[in-house]
């Protein structure tokens, strides 16, 4: 698609608009300089009789008979047209008339009427420029407010350039008529249909064929030249209704208006059959019923009879009274049910009223200066001077609009302007926080304080499951009580989202904050969203802001209702979108920093482990050598068994120290095809005496048909040993201590899954994300080093390319899951 930069689009648009006003101004100057005759003639007995004449004429009057023009006698219509319009522009004409039997002569200036070819070319030029404006503004037109505003502006600019031209006069009605025509026949039909197609959400037909929205404007683009031409030709008549083609054009456009409006109402009535929130339903109802009561009598009692050549069935006075229903119903829909953002409407109205007022003042000044100082002559140099002036003003249009917007925001919206700066400042401050959890906590705290919210919280990505399913869980919250958090079970326990569902695809791709009401109304919403909806409604969640990193939904910022009860405005949404970008950058920086920190930790850990292992291995080698030498001698059976245990466990210690030395490194291991149940059983057997000593019930659970994995037996044994020892410690305060280990069918294809579960105290939610960090431990200083689970993670994820996860509930227990690729899949 053809594309231009924002500056070029704005500059082009501004220049075209000003050229339109320039044409209007020049033609108005001509009206001031040269009087023009507006007259209607009839011919009787080869006499041209004046039936009507414009009031500003001082010489001609009704009933005069035109005898000759420049000596040429006038007998019929062709003679009159030839003498009036065949000569050069603004030429002097000697006219002889007969009035009450008396012959009078006078020298008059007659305005030149452009030829039909020139008329057609000028109208086509206007239509071409209009189409070009639509084409260049294609991308901008996809935005509602900009599309509608640009459409209105272009329509009115070209419409107003015609009636204030050489044949329409300079009176007020000649200016207002084209405005009414442009609004009624150019703007209302497509905008009404477009509103129906997009409210309260984009219809399915537009999702598949988005270009259909632009096709709604196509008839308007085709009909606009007809409107311009009708106004142009109708300007020759004192009343527009006297124009011969007026009835045909009127019927054409009223039919077009009826078809579009009735189609739009049919679509909106059909929308009411779909599930939606009460607030949105009331918006549609007030809009439909108010418009129907106001517009339908006008269309069916006044417009429709005229289409078929009958008199109107209702007077203008009655129509005006009925039409008052429309703005009243719309006002209820807007103010009571927030159909549109009132603040945005008021703000934009102030801005564009000021800008347009400036344009009108400029337009009047051009007319005044041109008529006062350039009235005596009008040549090419003056045209160039005025054209350059208008182009210069056009270049100043957008900077002036931005400045006016800034001043109005500062004067009328100080509070909003203040917290806009604060929010953007918060976004920059978040970039300095290296820990993601702390970043989230600071973000929700600041948003609650700045936007005066009841609460705010973040749900964070937990794990990925098959079939594009991802699990999310409450991460941080501000403004929620403990009771509210506990009752929101779907948030605290976690909930699954199908990221391939249409509602989630729209949510992630658009990256726009969305009101919860706009999600619940989707017909393709999954059933499991009901519990989530109930929990979110209970804590007054109103707005969802996606947090996306590398095109992946890593979390969602959920904002509660405002304490004032007000709705989120358009400006709030725009600010949150800006903050959303800052948050994504901050999270990306945090991830990079955390990666560097973990790499440094692992490097220092590996270095320290290597030194410790070296110090252990030296005396251990001496012990093993002496034990092996004694085994070569004949020994008593009990002593031989003791020496065997010394050698066996010395080798195990050497393997363990080798594992610590390899922490953070990817080195070759003695991997082979094996069953994880064999490793688990060997580990449990070696720890059975400890279990009996600690009064722990160790339960094994396996199933037939287990798949082999490609793994290192010693490393995996170390993993399960660490997990079981942690479970023994976690159940130390439980009367009936139970630890279960086993193999089960994996929820992910291509993996073998082992687990170690206990009925201990559980892991607190605020530390569960840190338990795999090196040196982090919940034990007392003399009971643990914080390396056990770090080693587990390193062995499973780095060496075996698997996954390790944990689920825990306070006072109920913990389960660790180990997933390793099967030998076939690996």
Convert 540-551 into a string of H (helix), E (strand) and C (coil). CEEEEEEEEECC
Question: What pLDDT shows up at residue 523?
Answer: 54
Beta carbons within 10 angstroms of residue 34's beta carbon: 14
Full set of structural domains in the chain with CATH: 6-27+115-274+341-407 (no CATH), 35-109 (2.30.42.10), 418-593 (3.30.450.40), 671-821 (3.30.565.10)
Residues of the chain with pLDDT under 50: 1-4, 9, 20-36, 86-90, 111-123, 125-149, 151-176, 371, 374-392, 394, 666-668, 782
SS3 label, residue 459: strand
Question: pLDDT tens digits for 505-563?
Answer: 777 777 777 777 666 655 555 565 666 677 777 777 888 888 887 778 888 888 888 88
What DSSP letter does each residue of 689-754 carry, written as one string?
HHHHHHTEEEEEE--TTPPPEEEEHHHHHHHHHHHHHHHHHHTTT-SSEEEEEEEE--SSTTEEEE
Strand partners, 741: 700, 756
Instruction: Give me the half-sphere count of Cα atoms (radius 13 Å) on the Cβ side of residue 669.
Output: 25
What is the longest distance spanned by two Cα atoms in the chain? 161
CA distances from 713 to 467, 671, 674, 681, 824 (A): 32, 7, 8, 12, 18
- Cβ 671 vs Cβ 711: under 8 Å: yes
Question: What pLDDT shows up at residue 815?
Answer: 93
Tokens of 180: 């009414």
Beta carbons within 10 angstroms of residue 232's beta carbon: 21
Question: What pLDDT shows up at residue 242?
Answer: 62
- Cβ 548 vs Cβ 554: under 8 Å: yes
Tokens of 799: 């060496």
Residue 818, phi then psi, degrees to nearest 5: -115, 120
Question: pLDDT tens digits for 317-365?
Answer: 777 777 777 777 777 776 666 666 556 666 666 666 676 566 556 655 6
The 3-state secondary structure of 274-303 reads CCCCHHHHHHHHHHHHHHHHHHHHHHHHHH
SS3 label, residue 806: strand
Question: What pLDDT shows up at residue 529?
Answer: 63
What residues contact residue 689 under an 8 Å CB cut-off, 6+ apart? none
- Cβ 679 vs Cβ 713: under 8 Å: yes
- Residue found under tokens 């012959």: 103
Q: Evaluate the omega torsion of the peptide bond into residue 200 and state whether it is cis, within 30 degrees of 0.
A: yes
What is the model's pTM?
A: 0.43
- Cβ 29 vs Cβ 367: under 8 Å: yes
SS3 label, residue 8: helix
H-helix or E-strand spanning residue 558: strand 552-560
Report the alpha-carbon distance of residue 690 to residue 538 in Å, rounded. Answer: 49
């Amino acid at each position: 698609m053809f594309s231009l930069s924002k500056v070029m689009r704005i500059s082009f648009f501004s220049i075209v608009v000003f050229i339109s006003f320039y044409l209007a101004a020049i033609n108005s100057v001509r009206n001031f300089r040269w009087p023009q005759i507006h007259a209607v003639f009839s011919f009787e007995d080869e006499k041209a009789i004046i039936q009507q004449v414009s009031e500003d004429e001082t010489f001609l009057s009704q009933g005069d008979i035109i005898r000759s023009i420049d000596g040429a006698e006038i007998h019929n219509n062709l003679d009159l047209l030839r003498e009036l319009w065949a000569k050069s522009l603004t030429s002097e004409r000697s006219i002889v008339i007969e009035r009450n039997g008396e012959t009078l002569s006078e020298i008059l200036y007659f305005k030149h009427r452009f030829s039909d070819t020139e008329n057609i070319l000028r109208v086509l030029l206007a239509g071409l420029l209009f189409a070009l404006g639509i084409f260049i503004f294609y991308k901008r037109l996809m935005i509602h407010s900009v599309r509608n505003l640009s459409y209105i502006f272009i329509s009115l600019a070209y419409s107003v350039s015609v009636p204030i031209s050489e044949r329409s006069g300079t009176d007020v009605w000649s200016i207002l008529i084209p405005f009414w025509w442009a609004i009624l026949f150019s703007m209302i039909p497509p905008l009404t249909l477009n509103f129906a197609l997009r409210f309260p959400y984009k219809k399915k037909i537009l999702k598949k064929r988005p270009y259909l929205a632009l096709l709604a404007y196509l008839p308007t683009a085709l009909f606009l030249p007809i409107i311009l031409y009708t106004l142009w030709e109708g300007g020759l008549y004192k009343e527009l209704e006297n124009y011969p083609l007026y009835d045909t054009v009127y019927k054409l456009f009223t039919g077009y208006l009826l078809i579009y409006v009735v189609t739009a109402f049919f679509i909106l009535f059909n929308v009411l059959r779909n599930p939606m929130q009460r607030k949105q339903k009331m918006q549609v109802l007030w809009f439909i019923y108010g418009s129907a009561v106001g517009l339908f009598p006008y269309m069916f009692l006044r417009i429709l009879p005229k289409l078929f050549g009958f008199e109107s069935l209702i007077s203008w006075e009655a129509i005006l009274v009925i039409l008052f229903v429309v703005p009243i119903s719309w006002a209820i829909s807007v103010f009571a049910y927030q159909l549109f953002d009132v603040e945005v409407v008021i703000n934009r109205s102030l801005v564009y009223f000021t800008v347009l007022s400036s344009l009108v003042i400029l337009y009047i000044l051009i007319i005044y200066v041109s008529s006062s100082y350039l009235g005596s002559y009008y040549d090419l140099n003056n045209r160039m001077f005025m054209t350059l002036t208008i182009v210069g003003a056009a270049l100043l249009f957008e900077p002036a609009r931005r400045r006016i917007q800034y001043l109005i925001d500062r004067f009328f919206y100080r509070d909003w302007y203040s917290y806009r700066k604060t929010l953007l400042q918060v976004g920059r401050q978040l970039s300095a926080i290296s820990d993601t959890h702390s970043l989230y906590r600071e973000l929700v705290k600041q948003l609650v304080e700045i936007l005066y919210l009841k609460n705010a919280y973040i749900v964070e990505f937990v794990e990925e499951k098959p079939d594009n399913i991802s699990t999310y869980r409450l991460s941080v919250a501000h403004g929620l009580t403990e009771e509210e958090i506990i009752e929101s079970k779907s948030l605290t326990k976690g909930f699954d989202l199908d990221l391939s569902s249409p509602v989630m695809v729209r949510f992630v791709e658009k990256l726009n904050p969305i009101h919860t009401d706009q999600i619940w109304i989707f017909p393709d919403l999954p059933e499991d969203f009901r519990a989530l909806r109930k929990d979110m409604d209970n804590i007054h969640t109103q707005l969802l802001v996606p947090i996306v990193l590398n095109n992946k939904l890593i979390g969602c910022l959920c904002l509660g209702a405002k304490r004032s009860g007000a709705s989120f405005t358009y400006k709030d949404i725009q600010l949150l979108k800006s903050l959303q970008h800052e948050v994504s950058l901050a999270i990306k920086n945090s991830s990079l920093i955390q990666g560097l920190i973990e790499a440094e930790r692992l490097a220092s850990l590996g270095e320290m482990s290597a030194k410790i292992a070296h110090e252990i291995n030296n005396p251990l080698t001496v012990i093993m050598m002496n034990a092996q030498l004694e085994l070569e001698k004949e020994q008593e059976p009990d002593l031989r068994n003791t020496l065997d245990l010394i050698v066996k466990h010395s080798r195990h210690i050497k393997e363990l120290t080798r594992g610590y030395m390899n922490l953070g490194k990817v080195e070759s291991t003695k991997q082979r095809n094996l069953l994880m149940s064999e490793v688990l059983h060997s580990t449990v057997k070696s720890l059975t005496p400890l279990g009996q000593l600690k009064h722990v019930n160790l339960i094994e659970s396996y199933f037939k048909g287990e798949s082999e994995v490609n793994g290192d037996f010693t490393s995996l044994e170390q993993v399960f040993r660490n997990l079981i020892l942690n479970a023994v410690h976690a159940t130390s305060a439980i009367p009936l201590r139970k630890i279960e280990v086993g193999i089960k069918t994996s929820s992910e294809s291509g993996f073998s899954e082992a687990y170690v579960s206990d009925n201990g105290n559980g892991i607190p939610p605020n530390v569960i994300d840190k338990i795999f960090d090196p040196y982090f431990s919940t034990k007392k200083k003399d009971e643990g080093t914080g390396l056990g689970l770090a080693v587990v993670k390193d062995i499973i994820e780095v060496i075996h390319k698997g996954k390790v996860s944990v689920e825990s509930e306070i006072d109920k227990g913990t389960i660790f899951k180990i997933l390793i690729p099967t030998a076939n899949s690996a």
